Amino acid sequence: MLARKSSDPTGLVTSPRRRRVPRSSKRALFSPETPTALKRGSDLEIENEHGPARKTPRRLVLFNSDEQASPLHPKFARCNSAPVLHGLPFTTYEPMLPTIRSSQHPDLHVISPTTALEVLQGVLPASLQGARFFDCRFTYEYEGGRLRGATSLPSPDDIEQHFFAPSLEQSTTTALIFYCEFSAKRAPDMMRHIRRRDRCLHAATYPELLYPEMYLIDGGYKHCFESTRAACDPPTYTSMNDPAHAERGKAAMQLLRQRWKAHQPVG
């Protein structure tokens, strides 16, 4: 734009122009041949030398009509916790025990305390050969009351010994049932760790699993104790935050966090 200025002998002065981006540069951002890093970079924060970084709106990257996205390998197309039937890689796996919906743990098979009690009493579908219970609470909680016949499993260090060295007999037809105090953190973490280990061992034979039948008790030991103490041995309940075990609880939690750091998946 031209403007007059008294000090300008011509009476006209040129105002600064905005820098134009070449059409070829614009096209390059959306070109299918453009490296992914460049495309992503256009959507991330742009550094401003005169101020803080600002964000640019994300742009939709269009592909040529003759291009097709490469299909995902089956091991990445499925969630870590849901096995699938052999020969039917996209069929949802149906657990053998009746499950309930869980918004907190949608990736896990969750059963009610009533179902857990029936299993303890030997009520099983014909497709299952047996069941084993695993208590993922701290040792003093386990000693203060647990489900009958449950095995203590307080640390991820114990997983290899109990499940993979060697594996349990009739593993594919045995229900493995886990719980902690509320089944909110410790037991779900243990189940997911076992499933990751199982997936790694069978990466070449996906979706084969040693332990497809893993279940979490809804509400944990607290829910079981409140609904049916007859299933508890002894019929008592020691909370993780019991003041009588404050020091043991603090030490056990610190140790558990350290052990989980050592077992975190790499990458």
SS3 for 69-114 is CCCCCHHHHCCCCCCECCCCCCCECCCCCCCECCCCCCCCCEECHH
Beta strands 174-179 and 214-217 are parallel
| Rounded Cα distance, 206 and 83, in Å | 9
Give the range among 74-83, 144-153, 207-216 with minimum mean pLDDT.
Answer: 74-83
- The residue annotated as part of the active site, out of 79, 180, 224, 232, is 180
238 and 225 in contact (C-beta within 8 Å)?
no
pLDDT for the residue 191: 98
Q: Is 136 a catalytic residue?
A: no
Q: What is the pLDDT of residues 247-262, one digit of tens each?
A: 999 999 999 999 999 8
Q: pLDDT band for 22, please (50, 70, 90 cuts).
A: low
| Rounded Cα distance, 153 and 178, in Å | 9
| Rounded Cα distance, 66 and 63, in Å | 8
Q: pLDDT band for 93, please (50, 70, 90 cuts).
A: confident
More confident residue, 215 or 266: 215
90 and 205 in contact (C-beta within 8 Å)?
no
Please state the rounded mean pLDDT for residues 172-182: 98
pLDDT for the residue 265: 66
**Residue 64 pLDDT > 60:** no
pLDDT for the residue 71: 44
Q: pLDDT band for 165, please (50, 70, 90 cuts).
A: confident
pLDDT for the residue 231: 92
Q: pLDDT band for 228, please (50, 70, 90 cuts).
A: confident
Please state the rounded mean pLDDT for residues 182-191: 98
pLDDT for the residue 43: 42
The average confidence (pLDDT) of the chain is 78
Q: What are phi and psi of 19, to 5 degrees?
A: -70, 125
Please state the rounded mean pLDDT for residues 62-85: 42
**Residue 121 pLDDT > 70:** yes
Measured CA to CA in angstroms, residue 218 lies from 40, 50, 114 at distances of 42, 55, 10
Question: Which CATH superfamily includes the segment(s) 87-262?
Answer: Rhodanese-like domain (3.40.250.10)
Please state the rounded mean pLDDT for residues 179-189: 98
By percentage, how much of the chain surpasses pLDDT 70? Answer: 64
| Rounded Cα distance, 95 and 215, in Å | 9
Q: Is cis: bond before 52, omega within 30 of 0?
A: no
**Residue 198 pLDDT > 70:** yes
Other beta carbons less than 10 A from residue 189's beta carbon: 17
191 and 81 in contact (C-beta within 8 Å)?
yes
